A and B are shown apart, each in its own frame.
Chain A
Amino acid sequence: MIKSVIDLQPGKNAKILEFANAKVADVFESMGLFVGQMVQVIYKSGTVVISVNHRMIAMSRVLAERIYVSL
């Protein structure tokens, strides 16, 4: 099932399938986030914190909603 990363329960892993559009893809790719990577949601409050490989990245909900993952 394809959902946005924001739908993940904290602690669950998922693979990035695609980004909503080219503009956000640019933002994510410049921060080292790519399609095919495994992500894990750590917290989702006003800000969403995810871990990707060995890094933690915080982002606004607006951005987190634009990462599509496989559940």
Chain B
Amino acid sequence: MSHCNHCQFKRNRKIVLVGNPNVGKSSVFNMLSDEYAEVSNYQGTTVTVAIAQIHIGTLIDTPGIYSLTGDSQIDEITKKHLNEADFIINVVNAVTLDRDLILTNQLLHIYHNKMILVINQIDEAEKRGIDINYDELSKRLVVEVVKAVAIDRIGKREIFQAIMNGSCLHHCNTSDVTVLLDRHITVKYTVSKIDKFLLNPIFGWVTVAFVLYAIFKILGDVIAGNIVDNFVSIIDKFYIPIVSRFAFNVLGNNFWTEILVGEFGIFTMSVKMIFGILMPMIIGFYIIMSLLEDSGYIPRIAVLTSRFFNFLGLNGDAIIPILLGFGCGALGTISCRILRTGKERVIVTALIGIAVPCAAQQCIIISLLAATNDVSVWGMYIATMLIVTILSGKILSSFIKGNGSDFFIMDIPPLRIPSIANGYRKTKNRAKNFLKESAPILVISSGVITILHKFGILNWLQSILSPIVKSLLHLPQEFADVFIMGIIRRDLAAVGVFDMSQKFLTTGAQILTAAIVISLFVPCINAIIVILKERGWKMALTLWLSTFVISISVGAVLTRICEGVLCA
């Protein structure tokens, strides 16, 4: 291979990873940088760029694209980075090579003198009997080809070597890629029995119901019912008395002691909320999500739900941002970028803001409902959330101008046994981010609430909100605190409800109303900032006000219905 000045090693070069969705670009990024960008087994995992400084330059992981001619938001982000790239690593999947080489062909026409081709997941291709002639492929495409199994860190040294060598082969006009593939790659494929079952319109839905039930049982009974209870009782029995005694001995009984270890204290309430309640539930939730994401089950749910989303003027693509919204509303809103039309992006952003509770909320809600031991409470909760989602979707799709997309097309990735290492890194990363985001706000909130309580402002706010809380929602006056917390963060409000449920929420009707109001309550500050950036201030303001009105109205109607039903 000849070398030229153009490709000489530069330490400050911009190296861009590009490829089709779900080929393993983030895995290659993680392998080369020793950092962690989220890896999952479905297209659309990466919606923003990840950047890492490595010893030979700046490595940039871009969202997956199918072609250089696409004009979606995702395509534009990737193309912008391609135009600024000093070097391009085109990642393709050995299993879907026929599809992936179309983009390679386009890239080679423009960037042939600064690009290498990384064929990832060669192990899976071998297992499937896919035979690839790598040397011939390299010769015909006139590009350096590197084999890799990025998830197992195979191919790292070879990729660095290829980048250092540069790709200075003279480009030839590549003929039709499909002809090339016919000659050099043989593929066989049969649909597995498990896929036939999971995609079947009847058995597929039975499986979804079973998976949801299993998630509710694990989060409600195992984590909330056992682990959280034990953590909270350990904190109550051992930690709080020790830290309170210590603070009183050192500081005496004054205002600062109350801020630190009082009823709403930073070292008492915050620690209990974060480490006793939220973290065990969040970690449990993220482990389950990671298993679902890495197994490839989520695209199969997208196929099953596509018809339901058609009814709302959307299609199966919508499931990805909505599922991510179940983790965090802000993340779900950003991932609306994968949707094809502006109308779809607005509808899904609104649905996430209105009817998709975040991970922390769900965990608390599941544990609240599980504690009632009443199937009718579960039924009414699910029915109410479904009705609100359908009505909101229908109203939005009727009133928002523009076309929805009926061009739903999605690759179904192969089912895989989730990698324990990736699951661990992903859960650790998400839990760390959650702690980083939530802990400071919870600590500040504890201090603010103590001050509001101390100066009687909390009681004053409670009395102002009393008509809504007591008269409309038939909830105890203390629920007003939850509103105040919910404006700051939804998870904070959810923990408030959890804490309150043990003292003030005595009936099934009250628990159900509280769960619904919290589920539908206003998006938290983080989510609103993201909506503001992605969709503009009008949408952010409208959504905030609408969710406030919807949560109170639905709560007020529901409380009257369920008082009748549950008391009857």
Chain B residue at minimal CB-CB distance from A32: B99
Contacts of A46 in B (CB 8 A): 201, 306-308, 310
Chain B 65-97: CB-based contact to A (< 8 A → 1; otherwise 0): 011011000000000000000000000000110
Question: Cα distance A51–B21 when bound, in Å?
Answer: 18
Are B98 and A63 in touch, CB under 8 angstroms? no
Q: For B306, list chain A residues within 8 Å (CB).
A: 46-47, 58, 60
| Interface residue A2 (Cβ < 8 Å from any Cβ of B) | no
Q: Does A7 contact B (CB under 8 A)?
A: no
Query: In the assembled complex, which residues on chain A have CB atoms less than 8 Å from the CB atom of B196?
Result: 42
Interface: B191 (CB within 8 A): yes
Within 8 A of B (CB), among A39-71: 40, 42-43, 45-47, 49, 51, 53-60, 62-63
B69 touches A60 (CB 8 A): no
Q: Which residues of B contact A32 (CB under 8 A)?
A: 96, 98-100, 102
User: Given A29-B102, A43-B201, A49-B412 in contact, is the A58-B303 Cβ separation under 8 Å?
Assistant: yes
Instruction: Tell me, in angstroms, the Cα distance from A39 to B339 when the chains sit together.
Output: 26
Closest to A11 in B: B191
Cβ-defined contact, A27 with B303, below 8 A: no
Known: A60-B306, A63-B407. Contact between A54 and B130, CB under 8 A?
yes
In the complex, the answer to whether A60 meets B303 with C-beta atoms within 8 Å is no
- Residues from chain A with a CB closer than 8 A to the CB of B63 are none
Contact check, A63 vs B201: say whether CB atoms are below 8 A apart.
Answer: no
Which residues of chain A are near B455, meaning CB under 8 Å?
A: none
Question: What is the distance, in angstroms, from A41's C-beta to the closest C-beta of chain B?
Answer: 10
Interface string of B189-202 (1 = CB under 8 A from A): 10100011001110
Give the CA-CA distance A27 to B317 in the complex, in Å.
15
Cβ B409 vs Cβ A54 within 8 A? no
Known contacts A42-B196, A49-B303, A63-B407, A30 near B102 by CB under 8 Å? yes
Question: Which among A26, A31, A54, A62 has the highest number of chain B CB atoms within 10 Å?
Answer: A54
Residues in chain B near residue A26, CB distance under 8 A: 69
CB-defined interface of B402-419 with A at 8 Å, one 1/0 digit per residue? 000011111110000000
Please measure, in the bound complex, the distance between the C-alpha atom of A27 and the C-alpha atom of B200, giving whole angstroms.
25
The listed residue (A42, A47, A60) touching B407 by CB distance below 8 A is: A60
CA gap between A27 and B67 in the complex, in Å: 10
Name A47's contact: one of B66, B95, B188, B408 (CB within 8 Å).
B408
Q: Are A42 and B201 in contact (CB-based, < 8 A)?
A: no
Asked whether any CB of chain A lies closer than 8 Å to the CB of B435, the reply is no
Give B280 Cβ to nearest chain A Cβ, in Å. 36
B537: min CB distance to chain A, Å: 34
Q: How far is the CA of A24 from the CA of B409 in the complex (A)?
A: 11
Interface flag for B220 (CB, 8 Å) = no
Instruction: Assess the A31–B66 pair: CB atoms within 8 A.
Output: yes
Contact A54 B189 (CB under 8 A): yes
Do A55 and B96 have beta carbons less than 8 Å apart?
yes
Does B187 belong to the interface (CB within 8 Å)? yes
The distance in angstroms between the C-alpha atoms of A59 and B95, with both chains bound, is 20
In contact, B188 and A58 (Cβ under 8 angstroms):
no
Are B406 and A62 in touch, CB under 8 angstroms?
yes
Chain B residue nearest to A35 (CB atoms) is: B178
CA distance A70 to B70 in the complex (A): 30
**B302 an interface residue at 8 Å Cβ cutoff?**
yes
A53 touches B189 (CB 8 A): yes
Q: With CB as the reference atom, state the residue of chain B lying closest to A10.
A: B196
Given the complex of chains A and B, what is the CA–CA distance between A58 and B100 in angstroms? Answer: 17
Rounded to whole angstroms, the CA-CA distance of A53 and B315 in the bound complex is 25
The verdict on A57 contacting B201 (CB below 8 Å), with A45-B307, A46-B310, A47-B307 known, is no
Contact call B99/A60, Cβ cutoff below 8 A: no
Chain B residues near A55 (CB-CB < 8 A): 95-96, 99, 189, 411-412
**B71 to A: closest C-beta gap in Å:** 11
Residues of A within 8 A of B315 (CB): 60
Q: Decide yes or no: A54 and B67 within 8 Å by CB, A46-B201, A49-B303, A63-B408 being known contacts.
A: no
Cβ of B447 within 8 Å of any chain A Cβ, yes or no, is: no
When the two chains form their complex, are residues A54 and B128 in contact, meaning their CB atoms are under 8 A apart? yes
Complex CA–CA separation, A25 to B304 (angstroms)? 25
Bound Cα distance from A55 to B124, whole angstroms: 13
Given A27-B407, A47-B303, also A58-B412 (CB < 8 A): yes
Q: How far is the CA of A57 from the CA of B195 in the complex (A)?
A: 12
A to B CB contacts below 8 Å, 17 in the list: A26-B69, A30-B67, A32-B98, A32-B102, A36-B178, A42-B195, A43-B199, A43-B201, A45-B201, A54-B96, A54-B128, A55-B96, A57-B411, A58-B408, A58-B412, A60-B407, A63-B409
A-B residue pairs, 3 tightest by C-beta? A46-B307, A32-B99, A54-B189
**A55-B412, A59-B409, A60-B315 are known contacts; what are 10 more A-B pairs with Cβ within 8 Å?**
A26-B69, A30-B69, A30-B102, A32-B96, A46-B201, A47-B306, A49-B199, A54-B96, A60-B407, A63-B407
